[in-house]
């Protein structure tokens, strides 16, 4: 059977008015079964059910944080597991979705990196995270207006499926998200950054997980970083900005005694000279066995002050859901065999 959510909305089955009804049931009403689509003829529902399935998840678990964020742990049909995080704010509802089971980038401070790589998610498996979270929270799918491809996996290494998912998210008859509220995060795949610049119909935002301004430190914490040097990443970022005119976010996880020295703040400011960017300083969300600690509040403030004094647009992004294990991969990492699929459920 085919997975309906893998299809672009323009390729959905049925014709004309009936197709619009089907799209509304899936993306507006969040229907989980074809039987629930009561205004479709019984014959059409039977044909759809015989050819397509709507739910890629065998099991869904949630862990709720005191700050109202919610970690979702999804067990897929093949037994593999991945995660999404729902973060409600007063003025918006945000979801962080995964694009892979595990991740090949192997960032040393990241729980997902410790899992290794399982497989790419399909476009529908990416989109289904939004629908499942909306259902779990008792809200309409379109109530979630902000989305980041910043969960488990390197989106640029699952490029085609991530782009298809983005087009579904943005489609006016699907989730109808604003391109200004969708962000793709990458560890710094230069080829992918340049490719994204050419996706004229998307216009989604770009975040680069730089995490260090010097090669020695970056390759220490991102073992695969040698494949894309800082020089190559920054060149790709400038090419991207020249084509799109869009501001780029630089993600920088603060690791105590590793990348939080003030000379590194100075070097980061030098790297960003002439680039329209915003730096997000992110205190590390600790997890057992990481071998890293978050920088102290005093050191984060000093790093922030150094960047700001050099004219860098910078903020500190406070982690949410620490009590729920909200850093990507923390829940799945506790389940032996989650990547391989052995004993995942």
- Would you call 222 helix, strand, or coil by DSSP? coil
245 among annotated binding-site residues: no
Compute the distance between CA of residue 245 and CA of residue 130 in angstroms, rounded to an integer. Answer: 29
According to DSSP, the β-strands at 182-186 and 146-149 are parallel
The answer to whether 328 is a known catalytic residue is yes
228 among annotated binding-site residues: no
Instruction: Give residues with Cβ within 8 angstroms of 68, minimum separation 6.
Output: 87, 88
Rg (CA), the chain: 20
The answer to whether 266 is a known catalytic residue is no
96 among annotated binding-site residues: no
271 among annotated binding-site residues: no
Compute the distance between CA of residue 248 and CA of residue 27 in angstroms, rounded to an integer. Answer: 30
Catalytic residue among 83, 96, 125, 251: 83
209 among annotated binding-site residues: yes
Catalytic residue among 96, 125, 251, 328: 328
b/e map of 169-187 (b: 16 or more CB within 10 Å)? bbbebbbebeeebbbbbbb
Are residues 324 and 102 in contact, defined by beta-carbon separation less than 8 angstroms?
Answer: no
The rounded Cα 56 to chain-centroid distance in angstroms is: 18
341 among annotated binding-site residues: no
Instruction: State the SS3 of 235-300.
Output: HHHHHHHHHHCCCEEEEEEEECCCCCCHHHHHHHHHHCCCCCEEEEEEECCCCCCCCCCECCHHHH
SS3 content of the chain, % helix, strand, coil (to 5): 40, 20, 40
Helix pair 190-197, 230-244: axis angle to 10 deg: 0
161 among annotated binding-site residues: no
Tokens linked to 275 = 């680039």
210 among annotated binding-site residues: yes
Cite the active site residues: 83, 328
* Binding site, annotated residues for [4Fe-4S] cluster: 103, 107, 110
* Binding site, annotated residues for S-adenosyl-L-methionine: 153-154, 185, 209-211, 285
């Amino acid at each position: 059977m085919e997975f309906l959510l893998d299809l672009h909305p323009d390729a959905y089955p049925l014709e004309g008015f009936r197709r619009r009804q089907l799209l509304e049931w899936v993306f507006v009403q969040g229907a989980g079964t074809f039987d629930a689509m009561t205004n479709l003829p019984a014959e059409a529902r039977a044909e759809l059910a015989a050819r397509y399935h709507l739910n890629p998840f065998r099991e869904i678990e949630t862990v709720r944080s005191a700050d109202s964020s919610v970690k979702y742990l999804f067990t897929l049909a093949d037994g593999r597991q991945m995660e999404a995080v729902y973060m409600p704010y007063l003025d918006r509802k945000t979801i962080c979705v995964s694009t892979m089971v595990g991740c090949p980038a192997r960032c040393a401070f990241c729980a997902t990196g410790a899992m290794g790589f399982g497989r790419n998610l399909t476009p529908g498996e990416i989109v289904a995270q939004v629908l499942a979270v909306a259902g779990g929270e008792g809200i309409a799918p379109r109530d979630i207006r902000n989305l980041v491809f910043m969960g488990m996996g390197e989106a640029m290494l699952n490029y085609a499926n991530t782009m298809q998912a983005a087009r579904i998210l943005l489609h006016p008859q699907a989730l109808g998200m604003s391109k200004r509220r969708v962000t793709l995060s990458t560890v710094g795949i230069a080829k992918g950054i340049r490719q994204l610049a050419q996706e004229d119909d998307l216009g989604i935002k770009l975040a680069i997980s730089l995490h260090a301004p010097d090669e020695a430190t970056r390759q220490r914490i991102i073992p695969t970083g040698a494949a894309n040097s800082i020089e190559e990443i920054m060149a790709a970022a400038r090419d991207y900005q020249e084509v799109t005119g869009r501001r780029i976010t630089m993600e920088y996880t603060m690791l105590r005694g590793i990348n939080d020295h003030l000379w590194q703040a100075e070097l980061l400011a030098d790297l960003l000279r002439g680039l329209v960017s915003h730096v997000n300083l992110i205190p590390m969300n600790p997890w057992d066995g990481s071998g890293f600690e978050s920088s102290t509040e005093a050191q984060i403030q000093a790093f922030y002050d150094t960047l700001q004094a050099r004219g860098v647009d910078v903020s500190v992004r406070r982690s949410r859901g620490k009590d729920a294990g909200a850093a990507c991969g923390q829940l799945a990492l506790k389940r032996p065999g989650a990547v391989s699929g052995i004993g995942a459920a």
